[in-house]
A and B are shown apart, each in its own frame.
Chain A
Amino acid sequence: MGVCKPIMVLSQKNIISAIGILLIAMAIAFFIFSKDDTDIEPLMKILSDEPRYSTYEFPKDSTIIKFGTQPLYIPTGLISETIKRDMILKRALSEIGMKLKFYPFLKGDDINFFLDRGHLDIGISGDMPTLKAAATSDIIITNLVQKGFTSIVAKKFVLMDELRRKRIGYAFGSNAHYSLLQALTAVGLDENDVHLVAMDVYEMPKRLNAGDIYAFSAWEPTPSIVLKQQKDAAIIHRNLNSGYLYFWGGFSSDHNIATEYIVAATIRAIHWIQSSNENLLAASNWSKKASEKLTGTNLEISAEEIAELAKKDILGMRQPSHIHESSLDKESSLYKEFEFLKTVGKIPVSTDWEQMRKSFDIEIAKNILAEPLKYKLNEYDYTGQGDQDEQ
C-alpha cells in the first residue's frame, strides 16, 4: 500500500489535469476553427469560383438588352419570368430593332457586379443592392417591383438578442443582409456579436437543418421552405424591404424608348398577375422552374405556395408600381436604410442622399400609368417561350 498509494494519488491528479487540459483544448479549438467567413470577400470568391456565371456570355451588340433577373426572389421572379414571356414587349422592342436577353442570378449583388462592369443593362434587386449600385454606379431606378418582407429564420423561436454568438447565414450585400444588420442593431448587437456565415440563399434550408447555422436571413421563398421542412423553425424577425427595377444609366439615356417599354412591361406584368389567380399561379410556376434551373435543385415549395407568398408582397397590393416621392424623403425608410448602410460601411460615407435621389426616376412609371392605352397596360400576351431568351 505504501508503494501503491503514491501511484494512485498521482494518477488521480493526472486524470483531473488531463480532463482540464482537454476541455481547454476543445474550447480553444472551437473558437479557432469555428467557421467565420466574414473576413473573406464572398462576392469575389463566389464570382471567381461560381461555375454558372462563368458560362454567361455578354454580347457586345447594343441591340441586345441584357437583363439580370433573380428567379429566387419572390415576387420579382414572377414579374421577370412574366416579362420574359411578354410578346407585346418583344414585338415593341423588335420594332425598334432590339431584343432582350435574360441572365438569372442568385442575388442582387451578383447582378450589380456585372452591371458595374457593363455586362448588364437592367437589373432587378432589393433596396440594399439597389442603393449600393446607386451609390457606386450610374443607374436609373424606375419602378418598384417588390414590397415585402425579408425574414430572419431560426432553428427555434428565440428573441433576437438570443442570437448572440450564434452562426447566422446570410447572402452578402442583399436586402436580407441589411435586414439582419438592422435587426441586430435594434437589440443592441452588431456583426461582431454573432458569427455571420455568407452563403447562397438556396443553401440556407439545408445548412439550417444540418445544424451548421443557427439562423439565417433571407427573402421569400426560402423562409417559407424552411418553415415547411422544420416544424420547430420560426421566423423571429421580419423587415419590410422593397425591390426595384433599374437600368444602367448609359442605356437609359441612349435607349429611353426601350426603357419605357420595359418599365411598361413590368407594370403590365404586375397587372396581369394581379388580375387573376390563374395568372398568378402561372407566373409562380414559371418562377419555380427558373429557380430550379438556376440552382440545379428542386425548390421545396409548390407553385401555389409561391403564389400565396407573392400575394403578401407587392402583387397583393394596390398602387404598386411607381415610386412615391415621399419614399425618397429624409423621413422615409429608404433614407434610413441609406444612412444605416453608410454607418456599417456598405456604402461610401461620402455618398450624398441628394445625389442618390437623382438615381430615382419617379416620373417614368407615373407617366406610363397615366397612358395605359399607349403602353397597353391592360393588354396581355404571355405566350412567349421564356427560355429562348435566357442565358
Chain B
Amino acid sequence: MSNKPFLKNLFPLSLQSKIVLYFGLMFIIVITLIEVVKFYGVPFTNFEGEYRALKSEALGKLNLVADLKKERLQRWIEERNDGMDVIAQSTLVKNSIKQLKQIIQKNVEQGRKGDQLWQAVKKEQIYIDLRNHLRLIKSTYGVYNEIEIIDRDTKLTIATTYNPDLGKKIQEADVYANITNIDDIYIALHKDPHSQEGKFVLIIARLVNIFDPVDNSKIISAILMAYIDPKDFIEPLLHTGDGLGQTGEALLVDKNRNILVPLKHPLSDGKRAMPLEYQITAKPATFAARGEEGIVISKDYRNVPVLAAFRHICFTPELRWGLVVKRDLTEVFALLHHSRSYTIAVGVIGILSALLFIGLVAGKVTSPIKNMTDIAHRVENDDFTARAKITSSDELGFLAESFNSMIDRVENWKKQLEQQVYIRTVELTEEIDHRKLAEEKLERTYKKLKEQSALLAQTEKMSAVGTLVAGTAHELNNPIMGILNFAEYCMKHTSTEDKLYTVMQDIENEAKRCAEIVRNLLTFSHVEQDDDNVYQKEGLATIVERVLKLLSYRIEKQRIEVVMHIADDTPDIYMNSNAIQQLILNLTGNAFDAMENSDKKQFGVDICRKGKFVQITISDTGCGIATESLNSIFDPFFTTKAVGQGTGLGLSVSQGIVKMHEGDIICKSEEGEGTKFTILLPIEKRGQKNE
C-alpha cells in the first residue's frame, strides 16, 4: 500500500507540473496583488490606487461643474440685480415715477377711473418718456421680456413696456410681502402673465423709494419689476458647458424643492414635470434646497442611480435656490469600469503569458532531468548503452555529465562483478562438481562399503556357513561315499530282476543326491574361497554348449526348444570355467524345472558384448517367479520347490560366482510368463577392468 498522502496519490504531479504550479501560483498571486494594489491602493496608506484616483477625478469633475454653474448662476442673478439697482436708482426713473403718481392722482381727483384714467395717462408725455426709457433698457440689456413699475400703495401698474398691463393689478401678491425695504430683493419663478401658452417667467423686483417733494419724510414707494424668460438665460446657463456627458443634467429647485426649470428626462411614469408644479423628493434636490452642498450617490427623480453634486444658491437670507448637477452613475464610472476591465484583462493576459513562459522554462529545465530519469530506468533494466544528453554547460549539464560518468562506473563495476561472479561461479561449479564427484564417489564408496560390509557380513556369514557346511560336507562326504560304494557293490552283486537291485538303485540315487548336495555345499563354500589362478580366457558360448550337452536328455525328454543367439563380436572372457559352468548349469536347470508343466517350453540364450562386459541372457517360458519372492531368490536356502526337490542354494551359488567375477546378475520374471536372467561378466581379468 502506498504511503503517500491521498491527494498526492490522486493527483500525482511531475516536476514540470510542480514548477508551473508553484511558480504560476506565485506569479498569479504577485500579479494579482500588484494589480489589486495598483487599482485599489494600499489601505491605511496614502497610496490610493487607480480606482480611488479615477473616482476622485470623477467626483472632482462633477464638483467643479457644479461650482461653475453655481457661480455663473449667481453672477447672472447679481448682474440682473445690479441692473435693476441701476434702474431703480436712476434719477430719471425716480422723478418719472414721482411725476406720474402726481398725474394719476390728479386724474383720479378729476373723476377718471378705469380705462378712461389709463388712456389719459398713456397720453401724458411723462408716461411716454418713462415707457420709452424702460423700452430702451429692455432693448439695451436684451434680457428682459418686459419691465414694469407698480405703485406699491395701489398695487397698480403705472408704467410698462407691455401696454395691456397698464393700470392692471399684478397677480404676484407675494411680491408685496417680500418687497418692503430698499434692500429687499425678490426673485421668483411665476407663470408668465403675458403668455397664453402657460410659460414660466422669472420675476425680479426691487423697491424704488422716492422722497415726497412736499413732505421729505414721506416716501413714495414703487416696485420695479422685470420679467425674464428662463429659457433664454437660465436654462442655457444650466445646460451649456461640457462636463456633463450624455446623461448629465442640471436642475434648479426653490427652497420648497419645486423645480424652476423643466427636467431633461420624463419622470418614471413617463410624464413631463412642469416648473413650479413638480416637487422633487430625490435626496440631492432635498439637500440643495435646505442649504447643503456636497456630492452624493443617490437615485434621481427617474429612480436611476446618479452621482449628484448639489449646491445652494443664497441670494438673500430668504431667497435661496438649490442647484443639482448630476450624471448617471453608469456614465460617471464607465471609465472606471473600463479601467478595471482593462486592468483585469491585462492581468489575465499577463498571468497566461507568464504561465506559458513558466511552462516553457519548466519544460526546458526539466527536460534534461526527464532524460536522465529515462536513462536511469533503462540502466535499471540493464541497458547500459543509455547515456544522458548533455545539452548545456550549467548545473544540469554537469549533472548529466556526472550521471553518465556514474553509469560508466556502474557498468564497469557490473562487468567486473559479473566476471568475478562468473569466475567464482565456475570455481564453485567445479568445486561443486568435484564435491559431487566426491560425494558420488563417497556414496559409491559408502555403497560399496555397505555392500562390502554386507558382503563381508554375508561373506563372514557365508564363511561361517561355508566353514560349517564345508565341515559338515566333509564329515558327510565320507559316509555318503561309503554308502555309494556299498550300493554300487550290492548292485554289482545283485540281479537286476531282484527287488533288492531296485532298492539298491534307489539307495544309489539318493546317495548320489546326497553326494550332489554335499558337492554343492562344498561348491558353495569353495566360492567364498576363490583363487585367481584358475581364471583363463574362454568363450561363454563354449560353456553354454557344454552345459546343453550335459542336459541334452532333459531337453529331449521335456521337448524344450533351445534358441541360442551369439553375437559375432562377442569376445572370450576371463573366467573360472568350472564356476561359470556351474552357474550356467544352475540357471539352465532351474529354467528346465520351471518349464516342467508349461505349454510352451522355450529356452533362450543370448550372448553379446556390452562395452567392457559380455552379457549373457538366459530366459525361459516357465511358470515364472512370484513378485514377492524375487528379492529373496539369491538368498541361501531359499527355494520355491517342494521339500526334497531343491536345496535352495543354486541361485545363491550362481550369484556368488557372478560376484566373484565382478559381474552382475539380474532377474526379471513374470508369473505365468517366464523368467529371464541377465548376467554381465567383465571381459578382462577382475581388477583390470578399469585399467
Contacts and interface: CB of A to CB of B under 8 A. Distances in A.
Interface of A: 144, 147, 149, 156-160, 182-183, 186-187, 234, 236-242, 314, 317-320, 324, 326-327, 331, 333, 336, 366, 369-370
A183 B184 contact: no
Nearest to A187: B296
Contact of B295 (A236, A318, A324, A370): A236
A234 B52 CA distance: 14
Contacts of A369: 181, 183
A236 B294 contact: yes
A157 B55 CA distance: 9
Given A186-B287, A319-B183, A336-B290, A159 B295 contact: yes
6 contacts: A182-B292, A238-B294, A238-B312, A240-B290, A240-B312, A319-B185
Contact of B290 (A318, A324, A326, A333): A333
A237 B66 CA distance: 13
A interface secondary structure, majority: mixed
B317 A324 contact: yes
Given A318-B185, A324-B318, A237 B293 contact: yes
Given A158-B56, A236-B294, A319-B183, 14 more contacts: A147-B317, A156-B48, A157-B63, A159-B59, A160-B294, A186-B292, A236-B295, A237-B292, A240-B291, A240-B293, A314-B317, A318-B81, A318-B316, A369-B181
A387 B290 CA distance: 39
A238 B293 contact: yes
A242 B290 contact: no
A331 B81 CA distance: 27
Contact of A240 (B256, B292, B315): B292
Contacts of A240: 290-293, 312, 314, 320
Nearest to B57: A157
B594 to A, nearest CB: 89
Contacts of B184: 318-319
A319 B294 contact: no
Contacts of A187: 296
B507 interface: no
A149 B63 CA distance: 16
Contacts of B316: 317-320
Q: Which 5 A-B residue pairings sit nearest by Cβ, starting from the closest? A: A240-B291, A238-B293, A237-B294, A319-B316, A319-B183
Given A319-B317, A336-B290, A157 B185 contact: no
A181 B601 CA distance: 148
Contacts of A238: 292-294, 312
Contact of A319 (B181, B293, B296): B181
A50 B295 CA distance: 37
Contacts of A324: 317-318
A183 B292 contact: yes
A159, A237, A318, A331, most chain B CB atoms within 10 A:
A318
Contacts of A370: 181
Nearest to B183: A319
A186 B295 CA distance: 11
B317 A317 contact: yes
Contacts of A182: 292
A241 B256 CA distance: 17
Interface string B279-300: 0000100010011111111000
Interface string B639-669: 0000000000000000000000000000000
A157 B290 contact: no
A336 B295 CA distance: 21
B293 A160 contact: no
A160 B307 CA distance: 13
B326 to A, nearest CB: 14
